[in-house]
Amino acid sequence: MNWLKNYVRPKIRALVEKENIPDNLWKQCQSCEQMIFHRELEAAHNVCPHCNHHMRLAAKKRLETLFDHGVFETVQLAGLKGDPLKFRDKKRYTDRLKDSRNTTGEDDALIVAHGKMGGNAVIVAIMNFSFMGGSMGIALGKGLISAARLAVLKESPLIAITSSGGARMQEGILSLMQMPRSIIAVNEVKEAGLPYITVLTDPTTGGVSASFAMLGDIAIAEPGAVIGFAGARVIEETIRETLPEGFQRAEYLLEHGMIDRVVHRHELRDELIRINAILKNTNSAKIVPIASSNKSSKYINQEREAAE
Amino acid sequence: MLSFLDFEKNIAELEGKLQELKHLSDIGDIKIADEVSRLQVQIERALKTTYGKLSAWQKVQVARHPERPHCVDFIDTLIEDFTPLSGDRTFSDDAAIVGGLGRFRGRSIVIIGQEKGHDTDTRVKHNFGMPRPEGYRKAIRLMKLADRFKLPVVTLVDTPGAYPGIGAEERGQAEAIARSIETCLSLSQPIVSVVIGEGGSGGAIALAAANNVMMMEHAVYSVISPEGCASILWRSAEHAEEAAEALKLTSQNLLKLGVINSIIPEPLGAAHRAPKEAINMVGNSISEALNELQAQDESVVKRLRRERFLTIGDDALTT
Ligand SMILES: [Zn+2]
């Protein structure tokens, strides 16, 4: 079995990517409407420096922000061959796949990466919203199973970072079957006594929210992320009422007891390192009060790196 | 009086004639009696041709037929000593999911299913078979109860989908469905599911992560309603017919795709024309499935259930 695909050196990647700088060097924040210089936005990992609005962040970019020194390896996953339903709407499913593969350079909407986080091995399964809306089909479900088995094999925590509109309609009933499959996957991790942590980013809805995304031992969400089962428009059409302020946003879910924490993107890495260290209950893990989390977890991190 | 579907115009006409003649035949004319039996043959033939080649969209209409037997009809016919159980012990009772203890052909079981209701009052009471989180949490509670007393679980699936509402979202519709699937998959006792009408998306799979999943011949089971799919992919719900076709949501398709174990035949002209007969045929299939599963060693039932799902769709992947 060939788990390992490519070894990513972020600095080299950054050099390559400089070639495609967009013509528009300024981006307007949808929330505060301020203009942000593209380099500034990139440095802030797509968080608005004026109002802290979290914009979507490409999967690979996010992985670089999470792993030690931005270094990780991706796992070769089984891909979809052909089109199981021969699905065609206005467009053929195979053409939609081709388009997404061309624009993202990925095979499907899930990337499984492994590497060190705070010196400890972790497996990250991250969804790629730009690949057909992060929709969950057979390949994605199988990818989660592979991620879970790798976590068990390496005795590492599994972190699932979600962004998805739900099941991939073009795979019909087979996409619905990924709900039980993904749940079996994360339960293999839990049954091995390993942490399964979810990071819900914008958006996490439909069949993804109603399966592995909502079953984390610890559920973290990004500020402002839309998280829910039914789409807001469907709900409005059904009940014929306007929805309450902030409905289905991360903060709203926190208030209603549906998630553990809402964490700023810049603090996510420290948060994950701290939680995993506490759950692992190793000697090197200093249990520190959450109030001073930022500084303390950085401290733990440095200590780890020093010990290496 | 039976309600006819759009594509049953010729059958409706024949039935109309037949009813008229039947009134007359009370007088006892032999010619009329002949005509009646001739019409009956014609109707039978028309039903056979029409129902022998229903399109996906027509199947959706049949699966949603208001007179199609619903969960409570199956329970009434098949379950003795039915003892309904209520509530999720956290928030409320959701009548969109009914369930309880009972005896099915001699064995104790827990039975759970979505109920759509059969008239305005009961439809409102059961929320048209669209469960809220409380419904799934009740199902979870009942499944765990079954496991504790080593009873098999039977689920009857018939729902347009989980209810899209403010309260449902606030109380964790997504989590409730996920947890219900997880519970199905965790049982050490056998669980058998039958899609008896509409298997609507996440709201359906929540009760159908079973050892043996069967579908009635004219039931449908899909990741999204044809209307919903059409409004997203075709940008108009008017394309529902095409969407139904593309989604491959019929029992025949699902058997081919390896998603269901078997198809339970329906009486001529679908279950609503002979509900008792249809229900008993489902009973026979459930009984067979339970016999087979209960003969298995108890320790493998859960593993086999997981393996069943782990292999679905695998042949569509590269290795
Ligand atoms: Zn802003």
| Residues of A with Cβ-Cβ distance to B172 under 8 angstroms | 214, 256-258
Specify whether the CB–CB gap between A239 and B165 falls below 8 A.
Answer: yes
Helix axes A293-307, A268-280, angle to 10 degrees: 70
Tokens of B168: 């449902």
For residue B29, the model assigns a pLDDT of 72
A184 membership: H or E segment, kind and range = helix A178-191
Banded model confidence at residue A275, pLDDT cuts 50, 70, 90: very high
For residue B20, the model assigns a pLDDT of 87
Look at residues B281, B233, B69, B249 and name the one whose alpha carbon lies nearest to residue A89.
Answer: B233
Question: Distance between CA A52 and CA B309 in Å, rounded?
Answer: 42
Q: Domains of chain A (ranges plus CATH)?
A: 1-55 (no CATH), 57-279 (3.90.226.10)
Instruction: Give distance in angstroms: CA of B49 to centre of ligand 1.
Output: 63
The answer on pLDDT for A291 being more than 50 is no
- What are the boundaries of each domain within chain B? 6-53, 60-317
For residue B1, the model assigns a pLDDT of 63
| Residues of B with Cβ-Cβ distance to A257 under 8 angstroms | 172
Q: Residue A54: is it exposed, middle or buried by C-beta count within 10 angstroms (0-12/13-18/19+)? A: buried
CATH code: domain B60-317 is 3.90.226.10
End-to-end Cα spacing for chain B: 56
Instruction: Give distance in angstroms: CA of A48 to centre of ligand 1.
Output: 5
For residue B31, the model assigns a pLDDT of 79
Closest partner residue to B166 (CB to CB) among A180, A227, A243 is A243
Tokens of B208: 């159908």
| Residues of B with Cβ-Cβ distance to A210 under 8 angstroms | 162, 173-175, 177-178, 181, 202, 206
3-class secondary structure per residue, chain B: CCCCCHHHHHHHHHHHHHHHHHHHHCCCCHHHHHHHHHHHHHHHHHHHHHHHCCCHHHHHHHHCCCCCCCHHHHHHHHEEEEEECCCCCCCCCCCCEEEEEEEECCEEEEEEEECCCCCHHHHHHCHHHCCCHHHHHHHHHHHHHHHHCCCCEEEEEEECCCCCCHHHHHCCHHHHHHHHHHHHHHCCCCEEEEEEEEEEHHHHHCCCCCCEEEEECCCEEECCCHHHHHHHHHCCHHHHHHHHHHHCCEHHHHHHCCCCCEEECCCCCCHHHCHHHHHHHHHHHHHHHHHHHHHCCHHHHHHHHHHHHHHCCHHHECC
**pLDDT tens-digit series, residues A29-74:** 999 999 999 999 999 999 999 999 999 999 999 999 999 999 999 9
Between chains, do B169 and A248 touch, taking CB under 8 Å as contact? yes
Banded model confidence at residue A241, pLDDT cuts 50, 70, 90: confident
Banded model confidence at residue A150, pLDDT cuts 50, 70, 90: very high
Q: pTM of this prediction? A: 0.92
For residue A76, the model assigns a pLDDT of 96
The predicted model gives A267-284 an average pLDDT of 88
The answer on pLDDT for A289 being more than 80 is no
For residue A285, the model assigns a pLDDT of 46
- Report how far apart, in Å, the C-alpha atoms of B28 and of each of B21, B24, B25, B33 are: 11, 8, 5, 8
For residue B26, the model assigns a pLDDT of 64
Please report where in the chains the tokens 């329906």 appear, as a residue.
B266
Look at residues B277, B286, B287 and name the one whose alpha carbon lies nearest to residue B73.
Answer: B277
What is the percent of chain A where pLDDT is above 90? 80
| Residues of B with Cβ-Cβ distance to A230 under 8 angstroms | 162, 164-165, 168-169, 173
Banded model confidence at residue A295, pLDDT cuts 50, 70, 90: very low
pLDDT per 10-residue tile (average), chain B, 319 residues: 88 92 72 87 96 97 97 98 97 98 98 97 97 98 98 98 97 98 98 98 98 98 96 93 97 98 97 98 98 93 97 91
| Residues of A with Cβ-Cβ distance to B209 under 8 angstroms | 179-180, 183
- Report how far apart, in Å, the C-alpha atoms of A192 and of each of A30, A125, A151, A158, A273 are: 43, 18, 9, 11, 20
Mean pLDDT, chain A, rounded, equals 88
- How many CB pairs below 8 A link A and B? 185
Nearest-Cα residue of chain A relative to residue B317: A80
Closest partner residue to A230 (CB to CB) among B164, B178, B253 is B164
Between chains, do A78 and B201 touch, taking CB under 8 Å as contact? no
For residue A219, the model assigns a pLDDT of 98
Contacts for A101-105: CB closer than 8 Å, 24+ residues apart: A101/A131, A103/A130, A104/A128, A104/A130, A104/A131
For residue B46, the model assigns a pLDDT of 95
Specify whether the CB–CB gap between A213 and A204 falls below 8 A.
Answer: yes
